[in-house]
Structure 1
Amino acid sequence: MSLSSPFVRRPVGTTLMTIALVIAGVISFRLLPVAPLPQVDFPTINVVAGLPGASPETMASAVATPLERQFGRIAGVAEMTSVSFLGATTIALQFDLARDINGAARDVQSAIAAAAGQLPPNLPSLPTYRKANPADAPIMILALTSKAVDKGRMYDLASTVLQQKIARLDGVGQIFVGGSSLPAVRVELNPMALARYGIGLDEVRQALAAANVNRPKGQLDDGRFTWEINASDQLRDPKRYEPLIVAWRNGAPVHLTDVAQVRGAVEDLRAGAVSNGETAVVLVIFRQPGVNIIETVDRIRAELPYLRALVPAEISLRPVLDQTVTIRASVKNVEEALLISIGLVVLVVFLFLRNVRATLIPGIVVPVSLIGTFAIMYLVGYSIDNLSLMALTVATGFVVDDAIVVVENVMRHIERGAGVLEATLTGAKEIGFTVLSMSISLVAVFIPILLMGGIVGRLFREFAVVLSVAVLVSLAISLTTTPMMCALLLRPHDPVHRPRLSVLGERIFDAITRAYDRSLTVALRHPAITMIIFLATFAVNVHLFNIVPKGFFPQQDNGRLAANIVAQQDVSFAAIHEKMMRYAEILEADPAVDTVTLFTGGGGGRGTTANTGRGFISLKPREERKISADEVITRLRPKLAQVPGATLYLQAVQDVRLGGRISNAQYQ
């Protein structure tokens, strides 16, 4: 009795089992997250320390060095980079891929505490840290622009209203708001006036603090009722600061307006952003790990009408970057390739078998095996991405082999005169071990990939597992469903009444066989010439291997460019902002560019200071532009280089990024 015998004799149970596998696969397919590549989280922690007014050299020697000394003792640190600038320093710690990020965070916290005694005593607060993944790119950027509303008001709406609403959506992770800061009253002191009145900065500070103290007012009680006394202690209108008395000189009050200019502004004047030529406030949205990017972006887009209703009509809210455009296109292309491969496999099987019933079996078994693989992918936490879909495409050729081997062996017994049931049981019993050995040998091929370490191992592990699972699911189907379908569908051939297509196909294959026989005869009769051709072919392949470009990962054209603006430390914010506007004009003038969003001086997510900037450029769809993203960069470089005093670095956004910090190079 063979392993397939119980399934052949119980077709209803086998059919229900197969249907259950298909249903589980379909449901899992709907639940699987969608991403361009397998999720690879770099265990990275960013540490930020601030000392207002300190020079970059002071920050590097007095703050960064003690911290780096302690961080260097943490186990598993693969890379440590630090950047010091005026008043602040940032340190990026990237750990080994096998390091648990939570354990690393605890070690970083302990290292900060250990370095506290070596840090400057006037440091306002201990350095802070947060977990990060430098490989993550924004899934969407929203821009607020207006000609009637100032950017401080737009920032207030973005940070207190829009950010909170978007953060509650499923799949949304961190949201950074850039381009400005919260509204504030700015007091710009006149040093000459202060010197004339003999007033120090601390006196002004104390007067401002005394005017903005929340004190309890108490209550009134007449025995029957109690009234709570309430009054505003906060001065939010700049005009209310003007009569404020900061000191007395010669019996006369010195008002704030005598020594300073008071105006409404924002907390940080050194922050700005531009989107498509207009001053903007941007919301840079990142995703949570392991979520469906497409569904998350769809939720944000569905929420946009409600978000627009929360802001004044004078403010325009629109998406200026959408990462899912290329993800949708690439996943769709791979899915189409998978369907085409299944169709071609079934067509080739039909051409060789020349039997509709026999072709129907692999035509059903192959999709069932691939669909069933989705259920296992969901259980192990994988995603639908280019590599997993490519694995299924490659597996199509392996999966059909199992079905064809079983069908052909059963057909052989039927053609010898055995009954259909007898032929099925005998054929499945004979071929069962062969199918098992074929599948196990295929899985064994991918064991080295499963054992690979580093980023390459992380990326291709999902590919190897998905392909191996597809082969194993096919093995189970070939020993259960395939024999059952053979017993139900296959019939003995009628040697007299044969279809014309079958006769024509047989003639074609006979002609191919005769041609092969003649070529093989020539090769055997002239072994020297055959060996020369073989060696020449081998030499050509070696030469081609040497001249073919090599790299870690193929250069991608995702239709998105990342921009880094770098200037000298002594360049003011006003100067870098002017250069940013000039860069924006050059970028927007290019015919291949769709949207341009640049920000500088803080905000927008990561790595921007008063003399640096970042940005994202969305290109038009590939069918609407004649050149690739790299060619667009090459065309823009000479024009961007004409802006003096700063440098703008452009690079095509890639799904795979290495390094613990943002770099001006493609890889580091």
Structure 2
Amino acid sequence: MINKIIAFSIKQKPVIGMLVIILILAGVYYSIKLPIDAVPDITNNQIQIITSSPALSAAEVERFITYPVEIAMKNLPDLAELRSISKFGISVVTVVFDDNVEIYFARNLVFQKLKEAEENIPEGLGKPELAPVSTGLGEIYQYIVRPENRNDTSYSDMELRTIQDWIVKKQLLGTEGVAEVNSFGGYEQQYHVLINPDALKSYDLTLREIYDAVLKNNSNVGGGYIVKNSDQYSVRGIGLIEKIEDLHRIVVKSNHGIPVYLEQIADIEYGKGLRVGGVTQDGYGEVVSGIVMMLKGANSREVAQRVHNKIEEIKPSLPPGVTIDEFYNREDLIDNTINTVKTNLLEGGLIVIAVLVLLLGNFRAGFIVASVIPLSMLFAVIMMNLFEVSGNLMSLGAIDFGLIVDGAVIIVESVIVAIATKIRLNKNSLSKEEFNETVYTSTSEIIKSAIFGVLIIIVVYLPIFSLGGIEGKMFKPMAFTVGFALIGALLLSVTYVPMMCSLILKRDLKEKETLSDRIMNFFKKIYLPLLEFVLRKKAMTVCIALIFLIISLISFTKLGGEFIPKLDEGILHIR
């Protein structure tokens, strides 16, 4: 079967050439579509349920909120882990599902159980809600909202926070791939109703009555419609509070037909919401910041680009004298990481090509082998898209060009030797038929060794596919990418390499001493006497090998390690 493929490739060069062109075009297309990130997203399949209850202590939050939510989630299918954090005023329950569960199906299961949890939480203590569909690596963009002139005090911290919450945040939430925008710093603007106890007592009112009156008067109501002169008019009662003056005219009570307004028993003013912490920049005082969270599974580079473009669109709509400064963009980290990988791959490829040309002693042969590298990479990119493997430091950085060209080197060198030998015996150049036959014969003789060599390398990576959990998410992309590149190199070695050997190698190729031969002769002079010595001293050789093995094992136990490579973003995080 393999020999037939080799023969077909040599005879039908236009067909193989067209397939290679298709490979190049498809590879370029899919390389543009390939999801790019700095590192693989290793976050497990989790959903968070957040309940806010400002009046409860940590123990009360655990008792009245966290426990009912956990009980409701206990019997969910494919549940891997259930954990919770109860703090003053807030409960966070994390539901972790098996990795094979689709995230939106899991959220639907949790959402159905939330109703049951709500029924078991005492009324008024809080309503559980699902957190956005994001992950631990979802923080892709951070920015600040500040006055253009840092010394400008015309905008207060509360006004900047209002601009962030009602202008910037609202528009960013409509950006594709954005799950949530969190605001930090400044003060939330509130309407404060400051009750006068004496007035409250004199009008014989309670705080509950005032609370209910404010709540009920902040709504619109429908009154049906009336028909007049064949026209239909809708009847509505407009009661939504739009400005602070509307609060003043809320009727709290009617005393003998005389309305008692809220302004008669309370002072109403703008106020600041309670907060924990603040945000400063460069020692100039407080600013307001926003953190954009990416939707789980989205392309972080594309989402970061969209957010950046959206910020530029928002800037003209800001009030005069206010601007937005970007201070963290995941795209920068991704670009730096990918540029590092590209540089390493390019330098490695050039070194491999240079070494191949020098050692093979034939530029055309070196070109054939070297061309396998980009073609194998394009094949790997296509397969990465099909198997949804993102391009990152782990996947792209794991590619070894030496492994990729291994099979091609064996085949090309075998063809060169066979052609040179046949010319030396015949003492003239080969005809086209003889040349093609020589290429076919030499390739067929060596192809099994080349295939076995590549398959052995692929088999070495197979155990990585058995990894699960976080380690599987981290290292499987590496195994997939290397495997795809090796499979691509193997297919090219069977088809493309024989075709190119038949197409561009000279038919009058003569045997001559190459740099590779001189290097090998040099090492033979050192190796052969050493080989004779170790064969005579077998016991001593085994003992020395065991000593080195023991030393290496001891050194291995003292070797440091880390889960992922260090990524220097040029940022200091001081706590």
The 2-side partners of 1:129 and 1:53 are apart by 21
Choose from 299, 305, 308 the match for 2:315: 308
Which structure 2 residues correspond to residues 248-397 of structure 1 after superposition, within 5 A?
256-265=262-271, 268-270=273-275, 273-276=278-281, 277=283, 278-391=285-398, 393-394=399-400, 396-397=401-402
Output the amino acid matched with 1:542.
L
Q: Deviations over 1:16-68 (max 9, x none)?
A: 11111111111111110101223445211111234452333222112222222
The 1-side partners of 2:204 and 2:565 are apart by 65
The 2-side partners of 1:111 and 1:233 are apart by 35
**Offset of residue 191 of structure 1:** 3.6
Q: 1:93 to 1:504 in 2, by over 3 A?
A: closer
More displaced 10-residue stretch of structure 1: 222-231 or 157-166: 222-231
| Contact 1:44/1:131 (<8 A) preserved | no
**Offset of residue 402 of structure 1:** 0.9
Q: What is residue 528 of structure 2 aligned with on the other side?
A: 517
Q: What is residue 169 of structure 1 aligned with on the other side?
A: 175
| Contact 2:134/2:295 (<8 A) preserved | no
Choose from 69, 86, 102 the match for 1:67: 69
The 1-side partners of 2:67 and 2:8 are apart by 72
Which structure 2 residues correspond to residues 457-472 of structure 1 after superposition, within 5 A?
457-472=472-487
Q: Deviations over 1:594-620 (max 9, x none)?
A: xxxxxxxxxxxxxxxxxxxxxxxxx45
| Contact 2:133/2:295 (<8 A) preserved | no
Q: 1:258 to 1:272 in 2, by over 3 A?
A: farther
Q: What is residue 12 of structure 1 aligned with on the other side?
A: 14
Q: 1:270 to 1:96 in 2, by over 3 A?
A: same
The 2-side partners of 1:299 and 1:222 are apart by 52
Which structure 2 residues correspond to residues 7-156 of structure 1 after superposition, within 5 A?
7-51=9-53, 53-120=55-122, 122-123=123-124, 126-130=127-131, 132-146=133-147, 147-156=153-162
Q: 1:208 to 1:85 in 2, by over 3 A?
A: same
Paired residue secondary structure (2:4): coil
Output the amino acid matched with 1:129.
L
RMSD: 3.2
Paired residue secondary structure (2:136): coil
Q: 1:202 to 1:119 in 2, by over 3 A?
A: closer
The 1-side partners of 2:110 and 2:305 are apart by 37
Q: What is residue 405 of structure 2 aligned with on the other side?
A: 400
Paired residue secondary structure (2:49): strand
Choose from 194, 205, 209 the match for 1:188: 194
Identity of aligned residues (%): 22
The 1-side partners of 2:65 and 2:312 are apart by 47
Q: What is residue 425 of structure 1 aligned with on the other side?
A: 440
Output the amino acid matched with 1:148.
S
**Offset of residue 246 of structure 1:** 4.1
Q: Deviations over 1:120-148 (max 9, x none)?
A: 2x246653334644432310012112332
Choose from 438, 449, 456 the match for 1:434: 449
**Offset of residue 187 of structure 1:** 0.6
Paired residue secondary structure (1:484): helix
Q: What is residue 421 of structure 2 aligned with on the other side?
A: 416
Structure 2 length-normalised TM: 0.86
The 1-side partners of 2:415 and 2:240 are apart by 89
Choose from 558, 562, 568 the match for 1:547: 558
- 2:209 counterpart of 1:203: yes
- 2:479 counterpart of 1:477: no
Query: How many residues of Structure 1 are paired with residues of Structure 2 in the alignment?
Result: 556
Q: 1:433 to 1:558 in 2, by over 3 A?
A: same
Output the amino acid matched with 2:380.
T
Output the amino acid matched with 1:171.
G
The 2-side partners of 1:400 and 1:173 are apart by 44
Output the amino acid matched with 1:91.
V
The 2-side partners of 1:360 and 1:212 are apart by 77
| Contact 2:134/2:294 (<8 A) preserved | no
- 2:464 counterpart of 1:454: no
Paired residue secondary structure (1:269): coil
Paired residue secondary structure (1:54): coil
The 1-side partners of 2:193 and 2:209 are apart by 13
Q: 1:218 to 1:442 in 2, by over 3 A?
A: closer
Output the amino acid matched with 1:62.
F
Q: 1:352 to 1:221 in 2, by over 3 A?
A: closer
Paired residue secondary structure (1:475): helix
**Offset of residue 486 of structure 1:** 0.7
The 2-side partners of 1:54 and 1:33 are apart by 44
More displaced 10-residue stretch of structure 1: 182-191 or 140-149: 182-191
The 1-side partners of 2:245 and 2:119 are apart by 44
Q: 1:433 to 1:527 in 2, by over 3 A?
A: closer
Paired residue secondary structure (1:143): strand
Q: What is residue 569 of structure 1 aligned with on the other side?
A: none
Which structure 2 residues correspond to residues 602-613 of structure 1 after superposition, within 5 A?
none
Q: 1:435 to 1:2 in 2, by over 3 A?
A: farther
**Offset of residue 257 of structure 1:** 4.4
What 5-or-longer segments of structure 2 have no aligned partner? 148-152, 424-429
Paired residue secondary structure (1:417): helix
Q: 1:414 to 1:479 in 2, by over 3 A?
A: same
| Contact 1:212/1:235 (<8 A) preserved | yes
Q: 1:288 to 1:145 in 2, by over 3 A?
A: same
**Offset of residue 526 of structure 1:** 4.0
The 2-side partners of 1:317 and 1:212 are apart by 34
**Offset of residue 242 of structure 1:** 4.3
Paired residue secondary structure (1:12): helix
The 1-side partners of 2:287 and 2:232 are apart by 49
Paired residue secondary structure (2:15): helix
Q: 1:114 to 1:299 in 2, by over 3 A?
A: closer
| Contact 1:272/1:279 (<8 A) preserved | no
Q: Deviations over 1:587-640 (max 9, x none)?
A: xxxxxxxxxxxxxxxxxxxxxxxxxxxxxxxx45xxxxxxxx6xxx6xx5xxxx
Q: 1:213 to 1:303 in 2, by over 3 A?
A: closer
The 1-side partners of 2:509 and 2:442 are apart by 21
Which structure 2 residues correspond to residues 576-587 of structure 1 after superposition, within 5 A?
none
**Offset of residue 81 of structure 1:** 2.4
Q: 1:383 to 1:252 in 2, by over 3 A?
A: closer
Q: 1:375 to 1:211 in 2, by over 3 A?
A: closer
The 1-side partners of 2:557 and 2:458 are apart by 30
The 1-side partners of 2:259 and 2:239 are apart by 21
Output the amino acid matched with 1:464.
A
Output the amino acid matched with 2:72.
Q
Q: What is residue 427 of structure 2 aligned with on the other side?
A: none
What 5-or-longer segments of structure 1 have no aligned partner? 560-618, 621-628, 637-649, 651-668
Q: 1:131 to 1:165 in 2, by over 3 A?
A: closer
**Offset of residue 182 of structure 1:** 5.9
The 1-side partners of 2:235 and 2:176 are apart by 43
Paired residue secondary structure (1:427): helix
Q: Deviations over 1:192-230 (max 9, x none)?
A: 553455431133234435654434588898749888788
The 1-side partners of 2:124 and 2:76 are apart by 24
**Offset of residue 245 of structure 1:** 5.8
